[in-house]
Amino acid sequence: MANGTIRYWAAAKAAAGVAEEPYEAETLADALDGARARHPGDLVRVLQRSSFLIDGDPVGKRGHETVRLAEGGTVEVLPPFAGG
């Protein structure tokens, strides 16, 4: 298991009620499952529409269960932003 930080931005931050929190997970899927369990409700819906950065690199269309997390890493949760 890796320990790191999940950072929530914009609507994800509002839905979670925190700007960041620790994770203990092997994959992005595991980390997001933990976030859903801690913050049921609005965050679950926001995560469905969000994109993710792992240590600054975009996840893109990769399956979240295939994205391994590093010790001390950072998961950034980026909901869709308005405007352009």
Q: Kindly give the pairing relationship between strand 2-8 and strand 74-78.
A: parallel
21 domain-assigned? yes
* Each residue's pLDDT tens digit, 32-79: 999 999 999 999 999 999 999 999 999 999 999 999 999 999 999 999
The answer as to whether 19 is a domain residue is yes
Residue 49 in any domain: the answer is yes
In the three-class reduction of DSSP (H, G, I as helix; E, B as strand; rest coil), residue 64 is classed as: helix
Mean pLDDT across 11-32: 97
Q: Provide the 8-state DSSP code for 39.
A: S
Which CATH number fits the domain that encloses residue 19? 3.10.20.30
Whole-angstrom distance, CA of residue 45 vs CA of residue 52: 15
The pLDDT-based confidence of 83 (bands split at 50, 70, 90) is low
Helices (H), 1-84: 11-16, 28-38, 42-49
Range of the domain at 40: 2-78
Q: Evaluate whether residue 18 is within a structural domain.
A: yes
> Which DSSP letter does residue 56 get?
T
Look at residue 23 and tell me whether its pLDDT is greater than 90. Answer: yes
Is residue 84 included in any domain, yes or no? no
pLDDT computed for residue 60 by the predictor: 96
Question: Is 29 a domain residue?
Answer: yes
How many domains is the chain partitioned into structurally? 1
